[in-house]
Amino acid sequence: MSLACLPARVRLVDVSPRDGLQNERQPVPTEVKIELVHRLQAAGLREIEVTSYVSPKWVPQMADNRAVMAGLQRQPGVRYAVLVPNLKGLEAALADRPDEIVVFGAASEAFSQRNINCSIAESIERFAPVVEQARAAGVAVRGAISCAVGCPYEGEVAPARVGEVARRFKAIGVQRVDVADTIGVGTPRKVQRALEAVLAHYDLDHVSGHFHDTYGQALANTLAALQLGVWNFQSSVGGLGGCPYARGATGNVATEDVVYLLHGLGLDTGIDLEALAETGAWISERLGRPSGSRAGRALLARRAVACGANGGGQR
């Protein structure tokens, strides 16, 4: 594979504070969520999905959204995004000054009905006033297209349906879109077809990949997207997160693993991989589990061995 066909740089959005933590059964303390954001930005992340403004009835883990946003020590050049489901959520979010809001739509009718109890067309039309008001307030808007490759209820999703969601997003003013393999069933060519359908409506600078690793294909799918020129991706430190509506879906691809791949390809991320691995281990320990990042675990294990070897002869 020639590196000449790959983008020169890559931008990552770490979604662990929101997508990674939202389905944790035990409450995660507000101060831990805030520190996670601070550690991510210290490691070099310049886009972070912080929280959501969904009703606490449905997502109790995000009930402290305002406290989390208020506690951030914001850094210049870092974009702080939040997910909003409707106008009420937007109104609450705007008071906390996000740089970007995220709206969402599925490429599967069955998933849309089970997730938010309406059709794809209805779901996106409901977001039209949300997008309008956000942009009027000077807040950027990103749209997430879930089930862009496969659906837990319908099976394989046709690329044309993914393109139709992108077209509808574009029509209501969404500025950039995420192509999400929500249940992690994608393979490289299927992912490329979904991305190509979206690229008929958005340019390369405004399309991103969001891959889950259920079948161990997330890094291969990332490389497949890079080969198309896509240079924006979402990932989650420690591989945290999943989808409560998609049975069997494992976590997002780990940010550490993606960065290890990108650095191996000679691509610029601006991210300190060692600091990122430490962050993945730290938040995983707070959640009572090992990090889901293979690269993160390997890097820290190698460092521990090196420290042991260096210190073994000292008295």
Distance CA 252, CA 196 (A): 22
Q: How far is CA 277 from CA 236, 254, 293, in A?
A: 12, 10, 8
Whole-number Å distance between alpha carbons of 44 and 53: 26
Grouping H, G, I as helix, E, B as strand and the rest as coil, residue 149 is coil
Residues 6+ apart with CB under 8 A from 196: 159, 228
Q: Tell me the pairing of strands 150-151 and 155-156.
A: antiparallel
Residues 6+ apart with CB under 8 A from 176: 140, 142, 143, 202, 205, 206, 207, 208, 232
Distance from C-alpha of 245 to C-alpha of 212, rounded to nearest angstrom: 14
E-only strand ranges, 218-311: 232-235
* Residues written for the chain: 315
Residues with catalytic function: 243
